[in-house]
Structure 1
Amino acid sequence: MNAHKVLVVEDERAIADAVVARLRAEGFVVEVAVDGPGAVEAARRIQPDVIVLDVMLPGFDGLEVCRRVQAERPVPVLMLTARDDETDLLVGLAVGADDYLTKPFSMRELTARVHALLRRVTRNAAPAGPPPLRFGDLEINLTERRVQRAGVEAHLTPTEFDLLAHLAAHPRAVLPRERLLAEIWGWADASGTRTVDSHIKGLRRKLGADLIRTVHGVGYALEVAR
């Protein structure tokens, strides 16, 4: 049986019941919260492996939930939003969400996204990894999943760390957005390129604008000294 724990945060009973039933059928251990304060408390208590988080919640919204949870313990977050509004989505990604689904969505798509998030975390959580990567004043500890620049630790979300580590594995090489989507998010199409762009913005905000070079119309590269 799959022992992964999923916290579902959704105040619409019918949607919550459907999501919980499908995830439990997939073998997940599932807990539900129906408002912002309850979601933060549940995340602190059960230490979930993934959070499925609605944006619109009583108490305070999903964006604030995501911000508070990620400040305490980075965890993959799949955001549920009622509107395909780019501003809302980018704000959600900026506060630490890893992926998003726009309502209405299929249960098959939701479970596929949850599985993809877990595969990425499992793949990048090796028990004994290589020594830290160092590029000038940037240090990436792959085993402990920690990043420092100029001796100052940066608080990255799980997806931000995976994106940075992927770029660092190919220093100076320009990686297309489509390749990053396929290899990090597990997406088979290019419909989520703004997701990549938002996470790049997050890395630049936390580590410095000079670290990642944009090649317009193609993708991104980690800038390192020759």
Structure 2
Amino acid sequence: MSVQLTVVLNPSGDLDRIDTWIVVDILRATTTIVTFFEMGGKVLLPVEDVEEAYSLKSKLGGKWLLMGERKSLPPPGFDCGNSPIELLRYNLRDFHGAIMTTTNGTKALLRAAASSDIVFAGCSRNATAVVEAAIERGNKIGILCAGRFNRAMIDDTACAGMMAEITKNKIQSLKLNDGAKIAIATWEYYDKNLMRALTDAEHALSLKDLGLWNDVEYASRIDESHTIPRLTLWNNLPAITV
């Protein structure tokens, strides 16, 4: 039986029903989410807006980490930003969990959940592991790029192209939609060098201007993790666990 791989380059349109979505926001939400669980985080609650994040933090208490960004920087009162490097400073086992809101990534995760029962957070760090997990769960695999402000971006598109190539190498009878072909072409344009793609990305350059280039370098690392964060429910709230 053939497998269909659908890549959606930005989350602005309607999403088809898919067996499994892999949501990619390499700069930086899904990279940060993978890192959160690599470092011992227990549960992460993604929310769409800052006010909802403040409200949840007030209800759940001080043992919950409030994290995320607007315009790439943490909003007032947040414990930390949307930074994998910053997370490395915390002993995440000391927290019950985290509440997270970002401009693009958390919204894309919640959108994907409306059209699939299985939604994974993917990035370059867990690329092969998350593709293998998706393959095990059905014949319709989707990669949703969070993009930026509902626009396709080089960074997420190149990462999706890398994942599409991994999928092609594992499945002989793979059908690709146009988005998947564009993502693979982007990956090949940068000679299958993720750091080269990120260096050319608009979002990465804006992070560099903010002194956050270490996050970009960290996000470029491939297959250093087998962590597969999945969107589920915790106390009837959307939650990410492993």
Which structure: larger Rg?
1
**TM-score, normalised by the number of residues in structure 2:** 0.28
Structure number with the bigger relative contact order (C-alpha 8 A, sep ≥ 6) is 2
